């Protein structure tokens, strides 16, 4: 067998091996397993994002509580001032109004802060529930994933002999190829999945362009390895 015939056989063996690997990679069970793995990842990402959200809210809660404490003590001080003013005969009505207004404003801020604190607490409670729910969904996904994985492993073992045989065939032919043609094949393979093309009606089966007569003649003449002038595929 010439090197040209051999490289064609090599491509056929590679195509067969790739086909078998692809089939194994695309079984419904393997697709299912991959999907479940994605779902598991999403669930775990969601839990992480919930947790970091809770952490932020807890920090917010802590700082709001400190603010509330300050406001309440300001309010007490204002209340003391007002009491003093009320017993002070020289205190004017305008001053009293001013003090009451300040207290009202403080109270408004206290109420707004209390509302924010409640919102924050209920958000944390809700998110904690969501985490629990995601965990419980996650454990079901994990079980389904493990089951699919077991089936996938069975499929792999079942198909292993055929794939191994195809792999050995590729290796067997590879040993018979000259290092030069193999190197060229592998270089072209980086660009095209099928590095070897045939000539039909003076056209390259890879790129469809016509091949010059000089190439066709040289090719017909003997055992030299020719490449398509247009795409660079090895012509066989």
Binding site for Zn ion (CB under 5 A): 204, 206-207, 228, 230-231, 233
Smaller CB distance to Zn ion: residue 2 or 212?
212
Residue 186: CB minimum distance to Zn ion, A: 18
**CA atoms of 81 and 100, how far apart (whole Å):** 10
Is the torsion defined by CA of 56, 57, 58, 60 positive or negative? positive
Q: What's the Cα-to-Cα distance from 68 to each of 54, 56, 91, 106, 179, rounded to whole Å?
A: 20, 18, 30, 10, 80
Residue 188: CB minimum distance to Zn ion, A: 10
Residue 49: CB minimum distance to Zn ion, A: 51
Smaller CB distance to Zn ion: residue 148 or 228?
228
Check: CB of residue 103 under 8 Å from CB of residue 80: no
Smaller CB distance to Zn ion: residue 106 or 196?
196
Q: Which of 117, 85, 89, 87 shows the shortest CA–CA distance to 101? A: 85
Smaller CB distance to Zn ion: residue 150 or 187?
187
Residues near 129 by beta carbon (within 8 Å), at least 6 away in sequence: none
Q: Identify the burial level of 163 via C-beta atoms within 10 angstroms of its C-beta, where 0-12 means exposed, 13-18 middle and 19 or more buried.
A: middle
Residue 2: CB minimum distance to Zn ion, A: 20
Residue 215: CB minimum distance to Zn ion, A: 10
Residue 37: CB minimum distance to Zn ion, A: 40
Smaller CB distance to Zn ion: residue 116 or 207?
207
Smaller CB distance to Zn ion: residue 81 or 227?
227
Q: What's the Cα-to-Cα distance from 205 to each of 15, 195, 213, 224, rounded to whole Å?
A: 16, 11, 16, 19
């Amino acid at each position: 067998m010439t090197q040209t015939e051999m490289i064609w056989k090599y491509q056929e063996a590679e195509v067969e091996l790739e086909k078998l690997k692809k089939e194994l990679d695309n079984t419904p069970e393997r697709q299912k397993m991959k999907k479940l793995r994605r779902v598991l990842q999403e669930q775990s990402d969601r839990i992480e994002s919930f947790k970091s959200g809770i952490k932020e809210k807890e920090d917010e809660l802590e700082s709001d509580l400190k603010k509330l404490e300050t406001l309440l003590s300001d309010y007490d001080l204002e209340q003391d001032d007002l009491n003093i003013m009320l017993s002070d005969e020289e205190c004017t009505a305008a001053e009293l109004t001013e003090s009451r207004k300040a207290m009202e404003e403080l109270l408004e801020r206290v109420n707004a802060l209390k509302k924010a604190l409640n919102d924050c607490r209920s958000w944390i409670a809700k998110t904690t529930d969501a985490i629990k729910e995601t965990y419980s969904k996650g454990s079901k996904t994990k079980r389904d994933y493990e089951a699919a994985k077991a089936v996938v492993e069975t499929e792999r073992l079942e198909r292993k002999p055929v794939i191994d045989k195809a792999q050995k065939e590729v290796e067997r032919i590879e040993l018979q190829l000259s290092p030069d043609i193999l190197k060229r094949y592998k270089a072209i393979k980086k660009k095209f999945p099928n590095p070897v093309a045939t000539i039909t009606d003076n056209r390259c089966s890879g790129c469809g362009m016509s091949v010059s007569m000089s190439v066709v003649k040289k090719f017909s003449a003997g055992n030299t390895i020719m490449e398509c002038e247009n795409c660079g595929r090895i012509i066989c």
